[in-house]
Structure 1
Amino acid sequence: MTPSPRSRRRVLVSVSSIAVAALGVGVLAGSRIASPEDAAARTAAPKASQITVPVEKRALASKVVSRGDASFDGAVDLRVETSGLGTPAVVTGKVPAVGANVTEGKAILEITGRPVIALAGALPMYRALRPGSRGPDVLQLEQVLRRLKFDPGTVDGVYTSDTGSAVARLFRAAGYEAPEVDPQYKSAVDQAKQQVKSAQDGVRNAKRALKQATAGPSEAALVQANNDVEAAERELRTARGNARAYAAAKDRLELAKAQRRDLLKERDSSIEKSALSDAEDRLTDAKDALVKAQAEAGTPLPVSEVVYVKSLPRRVDKVNVSRGTLVNGNVMSVSGASLVVTIKVDADTKDLLKGGMNASLDLGDGKLIPARVTRITRAEDGWNVVISPKSLTGPQLERLRSANVRVTIPVKSTQGKVLAVPTSALSAGPDGESRVEVLRNGKIELVRVEVGLSADGFAEIKPVGGQLAEGDQVVVGK
């Protein structure tokens, strides 16, 4: 049977609809299907671009940062030499408390009622000193006395009476009597004084004898002699004309004149003069012996009454004795009166530091304590750097005791703000010069620079033969 025209139109529309639908499905499927090359192109990373930062103006400072332990400076043990005592070395008083200060020229202990005075010096007190002693320990004592304004006379390493007088003033200033002189030297002085007195008497007697020997005739004897001569002359005149009587009168006149001449003649006093000279020599010797005895009897310095410490003042950290106990070994431990912080550094870091540099201590409360590098000393595992606070409040001192704190020591800084870039922005050219890459208008420009101080990841730069200013963008990565 032949389809009608209406039926043919419905079939044509249906076929057309199917074709259009199939075309749409094909287009959609085609849009979702891609070649491997297209897929790789769509998933590849975008083209690299530069990472830049602006050139800054900032102040730079390099520094050493470390942690250190706080302690009182320079702990040492004090030992008193008691071998020279004639009695047991009993502590009788002046026992200090822990935390007390040891001051130069003051007593730190009493042993058998006598003080132990602290002095600053490197040599220990190893023997008693007295007039006539010589050596480096005497020189050290004289230097200390001179520094403390107790004039010891000539500072020459010889203990003289002047040295002893200065020692006596030292003890009186500390509130004690001067050390006693050994009785044997006192006895020697007494004997020397007696010898001087005896010699003085001998001189007086010799002078009296010489005076008598050279005094001449008395006035009465001289008058009598003149009278005898005059009487003989009168008798001679009366006897004229009588030869016998005249001769006798003449003899008597000659005798009277001879006797008067003998009376007026100077006597030989050489014996008396020699005796006086001998007596004066004995007096001189006796006086010299007295001076020597008195010098030897000058104020001594007992070995048990002074203790030397390298530097003062100090702080008492530990006391090993109490009143009534015997001294045996170290009597106490002392350290510097000032609290310090010690950090350890290696040799390279040590070369950056020196005494007197400023530093700061951080207790962790946000407040920095100004400090200064005091000294740098060699240690077994590097170098010890000792830092001293410039000043401490009471609470700060208490917090620092035995604490571990952060220490910062500025080593070098720029003079104000300078052009600076991160160190990652620096690169080296073919001839070794430093340079930075500057991004301008989408293009890279190489600018040579001189590099100054580096600190905290930044470097000071100065452009060489190019333009560079704050805000310019420099490449630090890609």
Structure 2
Amino acid sequence: MQFIVSPAEIAARTAAPDPGPVTAPVELREIENTVVARGEITYADAVAVSIDAAGGEERPVITGHIPEVGAIFQPGSIALELAGRPVVVLPGELPAYRTLSVGMRGPDVLQLKAALVAMGFGVGDPSSDAFDYDTAVAVGALYEQIGYPAADGGDESRLALRDAERGVRDANTALAQAQAALAEARDAGAPNPIGEQAAVNAAAEALSDAQEALGIAQEGVLPRLPSSEALFLGDLPRRVDEVSVRRGDILSRSPMSVSGASLTITGTFSRQDAELLSEGDVAFYPGPDGEELTATVQSIRAPGAGGSSGSGSGSGDGGEGEDTGAEGGSASGSGGGGDRYTVTFSPGELTPEQIDALRGTNVRVRVPIAATDGEVLAVPIAALSAGSGGEDRVELLIDARGGADAETELIPVEAGLAADGFVEIVSDDPRIEAGAKVVVGR
């Protein structure tokens, strides 16, 4: 009998309800307006490392200091060791393309000086594009700090310095002899010792030339920076993502790739949604164990600004597209692919386990753009109507009376934040309270 339903009961179940207003209760709830999109969690700005192996004097054999994947490059780190010489990581965007030594000028010298200053070394005038004595001393201090002898002109320059020093000594001796001969001639009563005076003048010029040659030779043995020993990278610190060489290899290609040292979340937003965001806004995304993690808006890049706006995967996979856009009606979330803004988030402090689990995943990022201060009175948006003067109002159910003859009353209210189909209301009427019923349809 439990499976048998009488015709009367079927008719009762399918009969139209008694006519009357459709109501919904006034609720106490928090209202939060959010922008939502998909974001890729990656190490940002991956680049292949390029080292000028041809800038060294020896064959570019990798002899040591091969980093492990996950190693962090800071200013002054050693990226590799080539033929027993270090490849030093320095902050800068311009690749090393020539050996820098005393007397050279150019933007690469300016970059080197800025890098040395950032690392705490004195370089004299950092605004000058000249590689001078102070710059050479700073390069020498850098090499001393990392535990390697600084590069200089080599044996040929040291031999030239010895010869120049000998030349100065010989020139000093010749000048002293010429001056003694001149004094002896004058003491002997020679009225006009032209020959002796000419010998003094010639010896003085020879000494000046020898001293100039000594200065040049001294510059030749000052520290210099070979292009094969400098690896300039922007946005340090950097993380080693991949290493493609091993000890004993001859460097002939990129030995490794590096990226930003910390994870980033990159998503794309419509222009309408992006204009609601600001740098520093707090966002939320799910962690590997389902817990809610926080992130911070780091940058907002318009289409075509500073690279392709589509570098992040903001649309998600296939059917995830419904997650893109503003919730609660704050923005439409529409916009073609050419009007997408790239938003980068910093995911905050993460444990190594969380980093391993999150890297390379696509997550739903939620950015609250407005919220009520705790719980407020709220009704479905359909309960709001506009009066003749444009004021907001709700229709309060006073007495149901069986349906068609239900008694209702229009109550003026002040509408607040709207989201998720609800709107905040404020009213001076004490009857507008949690649990009271308002009309949403008939």
Structure 1 length normalisation: TM-score?
A: 0.71
Would you say the 8 A contact 2:181–2:196 is kept in 1?
A: yes
SS in 1 for 2:54: coil
How big is the shift at 1:120? 1.9
Aligned pairs, number: 385
Gaps of 5+ in 1: 1-42, 218-262
SS in 2 for 1:79: coil
Match of 2:210 in 1: 286
Structure 2 length normalisation: TM-score?
A: 0.76
Would you say the 8 A contact 2:152–2:220 is kept in 1?
A: no
Alignment of 1:470 with 2:433, yes or no, is: yes
Instruction: Provide, for residues 108-141 of structure 1, a one-character-per-residue CA deviation record: whole Å limited to 9, x for no partner.
Output: 1112221111122111112221111111111111
Would you say the 8 A contact 2:63–2:247 is kept in 1?
A: yes
Q: For 2:104 and 2:273, how far apart are their aligned partners in 1?
A: 49
Matches within 5 A, 1:90-109: 90-109=61-80
SS in 1 for 2:121: coil
Would you say the 8 A contact 2:53–2:252 is kept in 1?
A: no
Q: For 2:270 and 2:64, how far apart are their aligned partners in 1?
A: 47
**Structure with the bigger percentage of helix:** 1
Instruction: Provide, for residues 203-249 of structure 1, a one-character-per-residue CA deviation record: whole Å limited to 9, x for no partner.
Output: 4335545655777x9xxxxxxxxxxxxxxxxxxxxxxxxxxxxxxxx
Matches within 5 A, 1:313-392: 313-363=237-287, 365-377=289-301, 378=303, 379-380=309-310, 381=337, 382-392=340-350
How big is the shift at 1:44? 8.2
Match of 1:32 in 2: none
How big is the shift at 1:97? 2.2
How big is the shift at 1:308? 1.5
Identity of paired residues, percent? 38
How big is the shift at 1:267? 7.8
Would you say the 8 A contact 2:391–2:412 is kept in 1?
A: no
Instruction: Provide, for residues 337-357 of structure 1, a one-character-per-residue CA deviation record: whole Å limited to 9, x for no partner.
Output: 212222232222221223222
Distance change (3 Å), C-alpha of 1:57 and 1:274: farther
Would you say the 8 A contact 2:23–2:437 is kept in 1?
A: no
Match of 1:309 in 2: 233
Would you say the 8 A contact 1:131–1:164 is kept in 2?
A: yes
Alignment of 1:452 with 2:416, yes or no, is: yes
How big is the shift at 1:320? 1.5
How big is the shift at 1:143? 0.5
How big is the shift at 1:325? 1.7
SS in 1 for 2:345: strand
Match of 1:177 in 2: 149
Match of 2:106 in 1: 135
Q: For 1:348 and 1:128, how far apart are their aligned partners in 2?
A: 50
How big is the shift at 1:469? 4.4
SS in 1 for 2:49: strand
Would you say the 8 A contact 1:438–1:447 is kept in 2?
A: no
Would you say the 8 A contact 2:393–2:410 is kept in 1?
A: no
Match of 1:5 in 2: none
Q: For 1:329 and 1:211, how far apart are their aligned partners in 2?
A: 70
Q: Of the candidates 57, 66, 89, which is equivalent to residue 37 of structure 2?
A: 66
Q: For 2:432 and 2:184, how far apart are their aligned partners in 1?
A: 117
One-letter amino acid of the structure 2 residue matched with residue 423 of structure 1 = I
How big is the shift at 1:159? 1.0
How big is the shift at 1:372? 1.6
SS in 1 for 2:363: strand
Instruction: Provide, for residues 43-101 of structure 1, a one-character-per-residue CA deviation record: whole Å limited to 9, x for no partner.
Output: 986432241422x4543322223332322222111011112234432222222222222
How big is the shift at 1:144? 0.5
How big is the shift at 1:276? 5.5
Match of 1:407 in 2: 365
Q: For 1:62 and 1:210, how far apart are their aligned partners in 2?
A: 100
Match of 1:199 in 2: 171
How big is the shift at 1:105? 0.8
Q: For 2:86 and 2:174, how far apart are their aligned partners in 1?
A: 47
